[in-house]
Structure 1
Amino acid sequence: MPTARIDLFGIQIDAVSLDETLGVIRDWVQASDTCRYVVTPNLDHVVQLRANQSLQAAYHNASLVLADGWPLVVGSRLFAKPLPERVAGSDLIPAILGSAEEWGGLRVFLLGGMPGVAERATERVHKRYPKVEIVGCHAPPLGFEHVAAENQRIIDLVAESGPDVVVVGLGAPKQELWLAEHHLQLACPVAIAAGATIDFLAGEQIRAPRWMQKCHLEWMFRLLQDPRRLTGRYFRDAVALPGLLWREREATRHCLAKNRQRSVDS
């Protein structure tokens, strides 16, 4: 299913709901012709994108770009090109697993997490989603992306297990850069850059209570859980946000002025 994309903060984001995303991924799984990869940008990714051309290319070449962060959804509405909702990787993966029965079963490969985490996630997934088969999992060593043999090992593991979906939890921007470079070598229909989702599936990390998610406060819950890792990141993103909004405002004004001039000229 073709999707509409909006230009926001220097990237193109698919204007789709979670249900529409599930429909797209189901069609890809059924088509099973080539591997398409999905990225889920949040505000921190947008900040990183400005100084990372390889990451910009990875986002440009992704088959689906889903707004994981509420600042992106709110920003889209401020500039009159609204995204329908936030589609977080940590919501998308459980929704895909929950659709397995309707889809006639689902084969999944888990790539990422610390040693043993994906195995614990496998046990929990089998109990909760009986129509999902975790056909393989792998926690690559630190720095694997720079070692050709390690990259080939992952490609071979995926080929041997034959999954429908590969869930990639290597952290940003590593997971996006790795998928951009290697997705065409993966023998699966869909690969999803899903951040900490494998940790959530394993119970290593806990999602914020539903009321905090609805109030857009999940970031606060995560900060309280892991202040050492996230304080600096959130501070950097908060400092960068006014500049992002200003540049988007100016880009929107420039685009509107060009459209008005075209109308006058025609």
Structure 2
Amino acid sequence: MSKTIKMFGLNIDSLSMNEAVDVVRSWILTGESDCKYVVTPNVDHVVQLEKNTAFKNAYLKASMIVADGKPVVLASKILGKPLPETIPGSDLVPNIFEHFNQSGTPLKIFLLGAMPGVGEVAAKNIKARWPSVDVVGILSPDFGFEKDAAYCDRICASIAASEADLLVIGLGAPKQELWINKYSHQIPVKVALCVGATIDFLAGNKPRAPIWMRSMGIEWLHRMLSEPKRLVKRYAIGAIVFPQIFLKEWWRTKVNPS
């Protein structure tokens, strides 16, 4: 693996998108079925990690942590330990699919999350665009499923029976990270990706921001305008709290440069 950058109490992997894809590919092709999982911190995650101990523990057990969001990467540069680039989960997943498809290497995936019917549409789109990628399982769990241990055991059994290589989890943070941390030992996939709304994006159920907005680091604005009731409060809190967290990190860096 790459070197890591210690920031916000996390060891963030200093990887480019291509490097992250290569690591995941190597885990899938040569690794054990030990459910290595990947998390992608953005501003909202950093804010939640400050107070949510269980969320922080799930992060600390992740096999890869890559930055999702321009503010996190900008913070790394100001702190003098620059990360190469942002690696949003919604970009990492299609890049992995593209890599396997170009090489003609079969990849079996399981889609966990999104609303009923969304995964099926995503599966059709995936097969049309990346023929080497085979969706071997789809599950949209009931609301509050994470509180039902027996139900969660059945989900794990379904994933195991599918013999998937890669688990794509779109449950939203911190639910997806908490869930995979608790149940990873029951899931014999090579890799699990905690990637929020990615299944919705693959289905075309939620539109991605235009490329120019993504390149400018304002995809958050597009998402907020698309889902104002759900996201305005989250982004408002992030805009207030994240700078405070950054200033604490900056001060710690000055006091203790190591």
Q: What is the TM-score of this pair, normalised by structure 2? A: 0.97
Offset of 1:164 from its aligned partner? 0.9
> Which runs of 4 or more aligned residues in structure 1 lie more than 4 Å from their structure 2 counterparts after TM superposition?
none
8 A contact 1:26–1:103 mirrored in 2 = no
Helix, strand or coil at the partner of 1:191: strand
Task: Report the AA paired with residue 216 of structure 1.
Answer: G
Deviation sequence 1:35-77 (CA, Å, 0-9, x none): 1000011000000011111111111110000101111000000
- 1:75 — aligned with what? 75
- 2:90 — aligned with what? 90
Task: Report the AA paired with residue 5 of structure 2.
Answer: I
8 A contact 1:28–1:189 mirrored in 2 = yes
Identify the range of structure 1 (46-55 vs 94-103) with the bigger mean alpha-carbon deviation.
94-103
Deviation sequence 1:94-128 (CA, Å, 0-9, x none): 00111123161110100000011101101111111
Helix, strand or coil at the partner of 1:99: helix
Task: Report the AA paired with residue 72 of structure 1.
Answer: V
Q: How far apart, in 1, do the equivalents of 2:122 and 2:169 lie? A: 13
Identical pairs, percent = 44
Identify the range of structure 1 (96-105 vs 203-212) with the bigger mean alpha-carbon deviation.
96-105
Task: Report the AA paired with residue 162 of structure 1.
Answer: E
- 2:127 — aligned with what? 126
- 2:198 — aligned with what? 197
- 1:172 — aligned with what? 173
Deviation sequence 1:163-212 (CA, Å, 0-9, x none): 11000000100000001111121111000001000000010001111111
Q: How far apart, in 1, do the equivalents of 2:130 and 2:73 lie? A: 30
Task: Report the AA paired with residue 90 of structure 1.
Answer: S
For residues 125-164 of structure 1, the aligned pairs below 5 Å read 125-164=126-165
For residues 1-266 of structure 1, the aligned pairs below 5 Å read 2-33=1-32, 34-101=34-101, 102=103, 104-256=105-257
Gaps of 5+ in 1: 260-266
Task: Report the AA paired with residue 128 of structure 2.
Answer: K
Task: Report the AA paired with residue 80 of structure 2.
Answer: A
8 A contact 2:46–2:242 mirrored in 1 = no
Identify the range of structure 1 (7-16 vs 199-208) with the bigger mean alpha-carbon deviation.
7-16
Helix, strand or coil at the partner of 2:256: helix
Q: How far apart, in 2, do the equivalents of 1:3 and 1:55 lie? A: 24
Task: Report the AA paired with residue 236 of structure 1.
Answer: I
Identify the range of structure 1 (245-254 vs 198-207) with the bigger mean alpha-carbon deviation.
245-254
Task: Report the AA paired with residue 100 of structure 1.
Answer: F
8 A contact 1:70–1:216 mirrored in 2 = yes
Identify the range of structure 1 (9-18 vs 110-119) with the bigger mean alpha-carbon deviation.
9-18
Question: RMSD value over aligned CA atoms?
Answer: 1.0
Offset of 1:234 from its aligned partner? 0.6
8 A contact 1:106–1:164 mirrored in 2 = yes
Helix, strand or coil at the partner of 1:100: helix
Task: Report the AA paired with residue 69 of structure 1.
Answer: G
Offset of 1:87 from its aligned partner? 0.3
Offset of 1:31 from its aligned partner? 2.1
Identify the range of structure 1 (66-75 vs 93-102) with the bigger mean alpha-carbon deviation.
93-102
